[in-house]
Chain A
Amino acid sequence: MVGLSIGEKHFIQGGIAQDLRTDGRKRLTYRPISVETGVIAQANGSARVKMGKTEVIASVKAELGRPSSSAPDKGKVSIYIDCSPTAAPQFEGRGGEELSMELSAALRQCLLGGKSGAGAGINHSSLSIVDGKVCWDLYIDGLVINIDGNILDALGAAIKAALSNTGIPKVNVASTAPSDEQPEVDVSDEEFLQFDTTAVPVIVTLTKVGRHYIVDATSEEESEMSWAVSVSVNREGLICGLTKRGGAGLDPSVVLDMTLVVKHVSEELMNKLDSEIAAAQAMEEKS
């Protein structure tokens, strides 16, 4: 990312203060989002999301596995993000690892809920096949191709789109099986069950620059931020997760104020995303 001169920084801050950012958006307006599903043929579900110049790809792969002993009736979901060197030269080799870890942790927190599985956006019980013996392991992977600010929101949207696109194969369990051995499982190649994504939240990141918050910051605006809070909100308006990054501290009363803003913004984003995903699915079916 190129540096900015003092004059340019001043201009950006002025824009945010006057509710007119450098590309003409208001503080709470998102950049145009474009969604494409089914980009990876080998995965169970995949999506590519572009927010302005920020571009990410998410894919979902389902594999058979054993459930953990502490939660025998639930499947497992793991999220991992990788920052590609095309996004920035410093991501070559292991340079992107720090950011990848941070993003993966934030997404896990936002989408997977607590340790007991409570409050998770993804219903783990729906992934179970045979209690205690066989379950689906969902591997959600994200790849960041280009960074122009607001990667977390884009990744959240991509994962939601990829999950809407996911087809879990139908499974026939052989009924005659001894109780302590692994049952035989026949995975169908033809029939797929669509994954239920009504409870999957979206992530909205609010970035504070000067005295005001903005939504969907570009990387220039992010260089001016004091802090950024990412909130994941589901369709009912309930908060599923919250992460803060950035050096400056924030007053706790500000958090409550922000959650109101987030609820309002997330509704719009959720609707927009749903319509884009539906359009993308329709496009995919046509081609």
Chain B
Amino acid sequence: MFTSEADFRYPLKAKATISASHTESKSFYSRFHITISASHTGAGFSILIFRYPSLLKAEVVISPTQLHLTVIHTKRIRDRTDSFRKLGQNFGQDSNTILEMRGMELSLNQTQKLRLQRALELLESLSSGTNSNASVTVADTIPVNQEDGVLKGHGTTELEGEVVATVCGVIERVNKLVYVRTLRARYKPEVGDIIVGRVIEVAPKRWRLEINFSQDAVLMLSSMNLPDGIQRRRTAVDELNMRSIFEENDVICAEVRDFMRDGSLQLQARSQKYGKLERGQMLAISPYLVKRRKQHFHHLESYGIDLILGCNGFIWVGEHVETKDIMVEDEPIKPELQNNKSQISMSLEEQEQTYTPLETRQNICRIANAIRVLSTLGFSITLDVIQEVVDLSSSKGLDIHEMLGAEFCVLVAEREAERRSLSTRRKR
């Protein structure tokens, strides 16, 4: 039924980043790589959005949440500047289209759409006050002082004597380097980042973790504390008992130690605050929403909850676990391990007794839903914002699952717009 392309044509109302990358020869053709994240993507749906001449070929690559279109033109990019610019203009970000994209995920009714639009416009007007972080779209000229001998970094190219952006994003300047940082980029790791990952493989002397990066991260056995706490050389017996420390599918918190030669990450989990995370839930959001701060571990005492904001976009919300100091010798650690193992063979009644208490669970769910709402709206996730959203929901007396509804989403957007306008007014 869905065989030919003409069968299904869906009006694409979502826009996103366009990046253009050149081949090495820089001459023969230019590839426009258009990534569209929308809720209406699916296999076999051809989207006829481009009406530009000399379109040679369009490849469609589908991944579960995004549709990648690679458009190949035959002429050199220099000759295609006009259509390049037109492409950039048409796919520029305006609040209307962002709204449509978000609106679709949530099926807002008419009044809610208007309110959300107003809130988003207000936020945009507030944020565009800072001019040094100018946002650019494809083929925009980057304002640069030519005499300085500027270095052109990622996302830029030299075109007819001007520095032009090839991706949609925000201009960053570091001394003489100018580059464009895309908004919805993949996680870009740095040494010292706190990340949350899931074990996918137990390999000789190491664990492989999935961390929302282009490659899997590696946690060496030697970078992990042994259960008995003694600092010693890892023997073959230790290697055989790796599963007693971490198994497949375990959620782990660790720190980036350094990069390996092929670009993948090496992690370390030597401190007591790192390690296996249980008794909670893990959420996956876009990495760009988590900014690097001083603190990524938050212990919310009033709720009794641990909140770990991983820089890679994985967030852990769970019951608070006391971090034991292994150096204190009077606490034997072995019974803990045995307890974990026997959970599987515990009967249902015993398991029920070990469940998280209801009060804590409600708080965990509220915080998790707050994070989900914030990530749908695309706001940065920090502890203050989460606290505000949770307070807003309790003050409105909303049920926890209603936090994921359309009405609350609009409320959060309005509240955030208010908050930011107040803070800018205070600054002035």
List the interface of chain A (C-beta within 8 A of B). 2-8, 10-15, 17-18, 20-26, 29, 32, 34, 39-42, 50, 55, 57, 59, 61, 82, 84-87, 139, 141, 143, 145-146, 210-211
Contacts and interface: CB of A to CB of B under 8 A. Distances in A.
13 contacts: A3-B248, A5-B247, A5-B250, A5-B251, A10-B354, A11-B279, A11-B281, A13-B355, A24-B402, A26-B401, A32-B405, A82-B1, A139-B1
Nearest to A147: B64
Q: Which range contains the number of B residues in contact with the other chain?
A: 35 or more
B64 A146 contact: yes
A12 B280 CA distance: 9
Contacts of B279: 7, 10-11
Contacts of B352: 14, 17
Contact of A23 (B318, B355, B404): B404
Interface in B1-60: 1-2, 7-10, 39, 41-44
B344 A18 contact: no
B366 A86 contact: no
A18 B9 CA distance: 45
Given A6-B247, A23-B365, 9 more contacts: A2-B198, A2-B249, A14-B352, A14-B361, A20-B361, A20-B365, A32-B107, A82-B2, A85-B43
B233 to A, nearest CB: 29
Contacts of A5: 198, 247, 249-251, 276, 278
A24 B401 contact: yes
Given A22-B365, A85-B43, A145-B42, A14 B355 contact: yes
B393 to A, nearest CB: 10
Contacts of B209: none
B426 to A, nearest CB: 34
Contacts of B368: 22-24
A257 to B, nearest CB: 19
Contacts of A18: 355, 358, 361
B41 to A, nearest CB: 7
A40 B356 contact: no
B1 A59 contact: yes
Interface string B404-423: 11100000000000000000
Contacts of A87: 64
B260 interface: no
Contacts of B403: 24
Nearest to B365: A24
